[in-house]
Structure 1
Amino acid sequence: MSFNSNRTTYLKPLWFERLNVSESKELIRSYQTSVVYISVGYVVLTFLGRWWMRNRKPFKLRRPLIAWNLILAIFSTIGFWRTFPTFVALLTQPDGIYRSVCTYDYTSDTEAFWGLMYTISKLFEFVDTVFIVLRKAPLLFLHWFHHMSMAIFMFYLYPIGDPVGRWGGILNYGVHSIMYSYYSVKMGGFQVPKSVSSIITMLQMGQFVLTLFANVYALVMFGIGYPCALSNMTIFIQFVGGTSYLILFANYYYQTYVKLKPKSA
């Protein structure tokens, strides 16, 4: 089995996508400790907020929530549009899967820029929880744990830049583009079949399955002697994060769409 080492870029970077990758990695690395504190503070403030709201009427916030979901839907759609074509072009190569998880041949300014935006966006997604707290909507462990851990994980993964990370980021862009669009439509008062939300949950589980597959594949290739850009930090975060998220989302799916509940529920 042989591998072509020529670098190919399929999307020409737009003017705002050009960045110094080394500087962007150093920037994110310099905030790693701060993000840990911010993420812990996010959890503390979340539960303080729920305590503060316990005897207060919920805020409606319908229009701000629609606008917020639309912003995230548009952001995720653009991120997916700018990264997915190169990802597909890479995977359709004879050695595509290997190169997608083990080599830097297909990295580009476009991919690096949207990886940076993806990393930073995990902090902005904390705003999702603000709406939940102020509207007194149910707050699941899945929700705040996922937001907190993803922010920390991404600020440690981006500076490493292992190729396998593109699987999680690009797939998540795609799922979020659908998920936040769904939230926008639902908050807009449109009737959406319950099956749509269950499909979105399945897509979320699917991205974790594929990400775990990519990591296992990379480990296998490394184990049989092929060079693979895979660090111990990436292996740890991808497996711990991917496995925990898959279990939590699978449990949520079972509790919400499979388990029989009393009619009173």
Structure 2
Amino acid sequence: QKAFSLSAAYLILIFGVQRVMKERTGYKLRTPLVLWSLSLALFSAIGAHRCWKHTTFLISTEGFRRLACDQTFYVHHITKLWAYIFILSKVLELGDTVFIVLRKKRLIFLHWYHHVTTLIYTWFAYMQSAPGGGFFAAMNFTVHTFMYSYYAMRAAGVWVPRYIAIAVTFSQILQMLVAVIVNILIFFWMEHEVFHTCWSSLLFSEVMYLSYLVLFCNFFYKTYLTTAKKSKGE
């Protein structure tokens, strides 16, 4: 219920601010945005390090199947803290959109849809101790480390080669693809592994990641492939 309330408040806020800013000049917010992005990049790097320690230990001692179906991430004396921090970080990351609307940048559907559904799902998954949470968190932290580092450089006015932007988006697509595949594997392994989960959690996760995969692929095509064709005069 809290996740739904936060999501509703988020949508009302961002579209409300966007409406208010319609007749105003956008704020630059260069320094705050650099600091914001750098802070999230550093936080994500620490989170990735902590979560990968857990996942690599599991995969090296018990194999990938055990990792995918793992629920100890939510109860281990160290990782349970990071599980909770990961959930809270999805609330913090809503601040990304505030910068977009205050700077009067284009707010695309993928952006706010991704934030809302991720917030709702992560809280739901945490309550259900969804299998594979540690692996999913590790992937997400890793991608966000590079993504926010890229955002920080762009905000600081540093020239970044186009292939870096392509690599960031590709890493997001790869994350979604891996998550879709892992969810399918969990579905087939449910009868053979001892863990407790509900169908709604697994279904929610699969539908969400599939939608992300489609949307990010569409974004990749329109942003990098279509523009490349236009630049060549095709």
TM-score, length basis structure 1: 0.81
What is residue 103 of structure 2 aligned with on the other side?
Answer: 135
Contact 1:178 1:200 in 2 (8 A): yes
Match of 2:215 among 248, 253, 264: 248
> CA 1:104–1:131 in structure 2 vs 1: closer, same or farther (change >3 Å)?
closer
TM alignment of 1:149-164, pairs within 5 A? 149-164=117-132
Given candidates 203, 206, 216, the residue that maps to 1:239 is 206
**Equivalent-residue separation in structure 2 for 1:66 and 1:211 (angstroms):** 30
> 62, 75, 94: which is aligned to 2:30?
62
* Corresponding residue of 2:167: 199
The one-character-per-residue Cα deviations of 1:237-262 (angstroms, maximum 9, x if unpaired) are 21111111111111100100111465
Per the alignment, do residues 135 and 103 of structure 1 end up closer, same or farther by CA in structure 2, a change over 3 Å counting?
Answer: closer
The unaligned stretches of length 5 or more in structure 1 are 1-32
Write the mapping of 1:6-45 to structure 2, written as runs, cut at 5 A. 33-45=1-13
Q: In the alignment, is residue 174 of structure 1 matched against residue 142 of structure 2?
A: yes
> Quick check: 2:40–2:145 contact (8 Å CA) kept in 1?
yes
* Structure 2 stretches lacking a partner, 5+ long: none
AA partner of residue 96 (structure 1)? G
Q: What is the Cα deviation at residue 92 of structure 1?
A: 2.8
Q: Any conservation in 2 of the 1:83–1:110 contact (CA below 8 Å)?
A: no
Question: 2:128 touches 2:197 (CA, 8 Å); kept in 1?
Answer: no
Code of the aligned partner of 2:203 = F
Pairwise CA distance, 1:170: 1.1
> Contact (CA 8 Å) 1:218, 1:228: kept in 2 or not?
no
Partners in 2 of 1:89 and 1:82 — Cα distance?
Answer: 11
Asked if 1:115 corresponds to 2:87, the answer is no
What amino acid sits opposite 1:221 in the alignment?
W
- Cα distance between partner residues in 1 of 2:220 and 2:71: 36
* Superimposed CA distance per residue, residues 138-180 of structure 1 (whole angstroms, 9 cap, x where no aligned partner): 1010000111111111111112112322222110000001110
Any idea what SS the aligned residue of 2:22 has? Answer: coil
Residue 227 of structure 1 is matched in structure 2 by 194
Identity of aligned residues (%): 32
Deviation at 1:117, TM superposition (A): 0.5
Greater helix proportion: 2
Number of aligned residue pairs: give it: 229
Match of 1:210 among 153, 170, 178: 178
| Paired residues of 1:102 and 1:229 also in contact (CA < 8 A) | no
Q: Residue 69 of structure 2 aligns to which amino acid in structure 1?
A: C
What TM-score results when the alignment is normalised by the length of structure 2? 0.91
Distance 1:105 1:169 in 2: 13
